[in-house]
Amino acid sequence: MTIRGSREPEVVVVGGVHGDETGGVRAIRRLREADLDLHRGVAFVIANPDAVDAGKRYLDSDLNRVFPGNPAGDREEQLAAQICELIQDRTTLSLHGTRSQPTPFALIHRSQPPQLDLAARMPVPHVVDHWGVNEGAITSCGLSVEIEVGPQGTEEAAVAAENQAYAFLKLVDALPGDAPAADPDFFHMADPIRKPPGISYEVHVENFESVPAGTAYASVDGQELIADDPFHPILMSADGYSDIFGYGGTKIAESLESAQQTLLKTERG
């Protein structure tokens, strides 16, 4: 982990949790070099510089699946422990890239309700709770929100990541000014959608758009796959993952109040 910024950071902006998602890394490098009028201590962190240098998602373990980490574990487990210690009492934004979704969206974990409140104020159209699906993400540690910008590796993603970081720094009063207004809807990410064996894959549906039962949502070597149940696709793409298309999701709510009620109820139940 490389940290630059003030000695006593109160907020943290992280890129490079996944070493091959260069948008967040470029955004962190630009923010470190920018002449920012910071009103609070901010740490700008590149989480896994060795993986960034190698151009790989990770070296030993997927860093975003091993939080809160293990100081005696492998390379990423140790990193996770260090990052968790840094961020557990600080408000944190973590920048990711995707292969599937050009519109940025936020990821949170329902066990940490303040994450929901923060994510709902970020300039993203969708907030996704990934409880029960992607455990061990950075959202296991303190008040941290992840933003997915796409498409991975492009200048467009770097600019989107930088814009999200500026909005975040304004929301937490680290920079003067107001963040753009937000009015997201809320989803829960559910089971992965498996890819049957094949050579060529196509996806016929749009992420976050309702898919009714009976819809041909994808094709494998020209053979259509039909949805048994309705769902909302999340992170779906033909070639983003080797073994899954992405995830089936459900829409929880269109307002923060209603999302809070639903998520808190499920968390207690």
Footprint on this chain of Zn ion (rule: CB under 5 A) = 18, 21, 96
- For the CB of residue 17, give the shortest distance to Zn ion in the complex, in Å: 6
Those residues with Cβ within 8 angstroms of residue 132's Cβ, 6 or more apart along the chain or in another chain: 190
Smaller CB separation from Zn ion, 113 or 153: 153
Amino acid found at 135: E
Give the 3-state DSSP-derived string for 54-82, with helices as H, strands as E and coil as C. HCCCCCCCCHHHCCCCCCCCCHHHHHHHH
Smaller CB separation from Zn ion, 110 or 130: 130
Smaller CB separation from Zn ion, 96 or 109: 96
**How many angstroms separate the CA atoms of 31 and 46, rounded?**
12
Smaller CB separation from Zn ion, 23 or 217: 23
- For the CB of residue 214, give the shortest distance to Zn ion in the complex, in Å: 33
Smaller CB separation from Zn ion, 22 or 260: 22
- For the CB of residue 43, give the shortest distance to Zn ion in the complex, in Å: 19
- For the CB of residue 227, give the shortest distance to Zn ion in the complex, in Å: 26
- For the CB of residue 240, give the shortest distance to Zn ion in the complex, in Å: 11
